[in-house]
């Protein structure tokens, strides 16, 4: 497929799973009506809990559960390829995996990426402190999925600060990058756009960066500014705050033209092993 409309979904998710799924479904439908064929939900789209342990209460077994069923049926209903942000899948040590699931337009699951880099950080200049590793097991493997639009690389939020992950995905032909996220307001204002655009520029790819954006019942504020960026680093579309949909076109001819004119990927001297 030479051209396709991409969509990033922005939400301000709550502790109410059913309400979040209704909102996600509404926004995916909106994206589909705007012609989107590949849709990316934000990190933690189904739950932004009051406590970090709340995610463990809704964690599902791999391949079975209402959130996974929602993703599958919604992808099939709207005939879109759907990147399901992240949702908790039960791990092996009493913790969960932050799993990013991909469904094709027939509702079949075609990929699962588990967030590798966990946000164990005290945010400078605030009283915010996060310890994702207390409830989440880290993933181990990068993943690139074949789609009708191109090869899709998967990553989540804090991953974006680790460029070696993306170089590994580029080494196997990544064309489009998905970055479902829940960036804090402080770190987002400082680094979000810089990082998203840098990953596009470095890897000469389209990036769909779907962020949480707003105030949450747990007191957290997320940055929003979901955006779609082209392989030259241009922001094609963005949304500052609140729930909504961002769309822009993927153009394979544009991708090929940029890569031919500026063949940085061909000049790579070091490779990941």
Interval 118-161: pLDDT, tens: 999 988 878 778 999 999 999 999 999 999 999 999 999 999 99
Tell whether 272 is covered by a domain. Answer: no
Bridge partners of 4?
250
Question: What is the percent of the chain where pLDDT is above 90?
Answer: 92
Tell whether 192 is covered by a domain. Answer: yes
pLDDT of residue 117: 98
Q: pLDDT band for position 268 (50/70/90)?
A: confident
More confident residue, 2 or 137: 137
From the list 23, 43, 137, 221, the catalytic residue is 43
- Claim: this prediction has a pTM higher than 0.85: yes
pLDDT of residue 66: 98
Tell whether 129 is covered by a domain. Answer: yes
The boundaries of the domain holding residue 183 are 3-267
Question: What is the percent of the chain where pLDDT is above 70?
Answer: 99
Q: What is the mean pLDDT of the chain?
A: 96
From the list 23, 100, 157, 221, the catalytic residue is 157
Q: pLDDT band for position 14 (50/70/90)?
A: very high
Q: How far apart are CA 112 and CA 84, in angstroms?
A: 10
Q: pLDDT band for position 93 (50/70/90)?
A: confident
Predicted confidence (pLDDT) at residue 34 exceeds the cutoff of 80: yes
Tell whether 132 is covered by a domain. Answer: yes
* Catalytic residue status for 3: no
Q: pLDDT band for position 273 (50/70/90)?
A: low
Tell whether 52 is covered by a domain. Answer: yes
* Catalytic residue status for 100: no
Predicted confidence (pLDDT) at residue 230 exceeds the cutoff of 80: yes
pLDDT of residue 216: 96
Cα-based distances in Å from 133 to 61, 120, 138: 19, 7, 7
Tell whether 75 is covered by a domain. Answer: yes
pLDDT of residue 270: 65
From the list 37, 95, 115, 132, the catalytic residue is 115
Mean per-residue pLDDT for 38-65?
Answer: 97
* Catalytic residue status for 272: no
pLDDT of residue 2: 85
Q: pLDDT band for position 35 (50/70/90)?
A: very high
User: How many structural domains compose the chain?
Assistant: 1
CB of 42 within 8 A of CB of 11?
yes
Tell whether 259 is covered by a domain. Answer: yes
**At 256, which CATH number?**
3.60.110.10
| CB count in 10 Å sphere of residue 126 | 12
Tell whether 218 is covered by a domain. Answer: yes
Predicted confidence (pLDDT) at residue 271 exceeds the cutoff of 70: no
């Amino acid at each position: 497929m030479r051209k396709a409309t991409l969509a990033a979904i922005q939400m301000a998710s709550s502790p109410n799973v059913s309400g979040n799924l209704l909102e996600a479904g509404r926004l995916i439908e909106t994206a589909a009506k705007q012609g989107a064929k590949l849709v990316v939900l934000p990190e933690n789209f189904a739950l932004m809990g009051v406590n970090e342990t709340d995610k463990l209460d809704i964690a599902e077994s791999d391949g079975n559960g209402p959130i996974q069923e929602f993703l599958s049926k919604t992808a099939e209903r709207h005939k879109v390829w759907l990147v399901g942000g992240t949702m908790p899948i039960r791990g092996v040590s009493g913790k969960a995996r932050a799993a990013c699931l991909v469904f094709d337009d027939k509702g079949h699951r075609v990929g699962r990426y588990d967030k590798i880099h966990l946000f164990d950080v005290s945010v400078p200049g605030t009283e915010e402190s996060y310890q994702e590793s207390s409830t989440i097991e880290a993933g181990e493997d990068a993943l690139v999925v074949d789609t009708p639009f191109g090869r899709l690389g998967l990553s989540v939020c804090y991953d974006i600060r680790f460029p070696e992950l993306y170089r590994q995905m580029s080494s196997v032909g990544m064309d489009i990058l998905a970055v479902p996220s829940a960036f804090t307001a402080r770190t987002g204002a400082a680094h979000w756009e810089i990082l998203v655009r840098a990953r596009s520029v470095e890897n000469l790819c389209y990036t769909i960066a779907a962020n949480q954006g707003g105030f949450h019942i747990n007191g957290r504020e997320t940055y929003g500014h979901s955006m779609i960026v082209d392989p030259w680093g241009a922001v094609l579309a963005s949304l500052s705050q609140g729930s909504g949909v961002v769309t822009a076109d993927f153009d394979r001819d544009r991708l090929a033209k940029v890569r031919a004119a500026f063949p940085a990927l061909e000049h790579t001297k070091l490779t990941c092993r």
